[in-house]
Amino acid sequence: MLKSTIQILSIFIALFFMASAEAQSESILYSFSQYYNNGYVGAPSALTLSADGKTLYGTTSNGGAYGAGAIFAYNISTGTETTLYSFSQYYNNGYVGAPSALTLSADGKTLYGTTSRGGACGVGAIFAFSLPLPTPTVNFTQPISPLAYSAGKSFSLSTTSTSGGVVTYTSSSTNVISITGSTALVKGIGTATITATVAATGNYTSASASCLVTVTPIIPTISFTQPISPVAYSAGKSFSLSTTSTSGGNVTYSSSSSNVITISGSTALVKGTGTATITATVAATGNYASGNATRSVTVK
């Protein structure tokens, strides 16, 4: 079987290599295989370098998906190769194997080449192959998460991208964050994924990036209005407890020392002399978190 008899072709002339004139040495960058369906089955026949010097484009005169040759790209910095196109063995597609020449257009977008077989008459053809556009890098610079909720609060959205394409923003949860243009409006607490989509340009494909934003509840402000300390002892004496809070949540009270003060609802009952800490706890509500406040009360 072909797969079990893979042979590596270390061909210095028709293979990728680098030579150093000073050191009089060369290093192999990639070795083609004899296994047909990997797209690089030996006999590389042409090679050209991208304008930025980062990619080698080339052809093989056989191999590829159909055994009739392929167009490949080799990333010099990562050492990875990719099959861009496989030639067919059928004559009527115009590119029937044995590609023998290759050149890159001035704008770096199109490969032009020839085949020694195929075409309308079966004796070769000139072909053009549009290179796939690169995908741009997209990064958020704003917003910064988490955000504290504030009614009507808005913030700007911004990104950077290598393509310079037009950017549009969307929110996965409009009851948390809604978006108009590049401005986000806080609507409620929770999480929302904001997606920035960069439109395709002449030199780049479209791309997107996402940012998870958490809107946290507001911590309410709580203040005691009653009781006023100290309190004079009197058997069976009671007094009301009251607070104000910015959230309007339900308030419950507790005492740290039930032998000094006990509490029922919002009423405190004096039980004896001493000091007790009364805690008012406001329940979470709407866009507000829970909170508490304390007051130390001395009974004399």
CATH of 222-299, one of 3.40.50.10260, 2.60.40.1080, 3.50.50.60, 3.40.50.300: 2.60.40.1080
Token pair for residue 133? Answer: 């556009």
For the stretch 30-86, pLDDT in tens is 877 755 554 445 667 788 998 888 899 998 877 777 777 889 999 999 988 888 988
* CATH architecture of the domain formed by 138-216: Sandwich (2.60)
CATH superfamily of 3-130: TolB, C-terminal domain (2.120.10.30)
What's the distance, Cα to Cα, between the start and end of the chain in Å? 100
Residue 80 or 1, more confident:
80
For the stretch 135-149, pLDDT in tens is 999 999 988 778 887
Largest CA distance in the chain: 116
Strand ranges (E), 89-206: 99-104, 110-115, 125-130, 138-142, 147-148, 154-156, 158-161, 167-171, 177-180, 183-186, 190-198
Residue 43 has a pLDDT of: 67
Residue 245 has a pLDDT of: 94
pLDDT at 26 over 50: yes
Give me the mean pLDDT over the 225-237 stretch.
83
Residue 92 or 112, more confident:
112
Q: Which of 26-30, 109-113, 156-160, 179-183 has the lowest mean pLDDT?
A: 26-30
Computed over every residue of the chain, the mean pLDDT equals 83
Separation of alpha carbons 145 and 194, rounded Å? 11
Cβ contact 215:193 at 8 Å: no
Separation of alpha carbons 268 and 261, rounded Å? 6
For the stretch 85-111, pLDDT in tens is 888 765 555 455 667 788 999 888 899
| Matching fold, domains 138-216 and 222-299 | yes
For the stretch 273-289, pLDDT in tens is 999 999 999 999 888 99
- List, in sequence order, every residue forming a beta bridge with 4; answer none if it has no partner: none
Domain ranges for the chain: 3-130, 138-216, 222-299
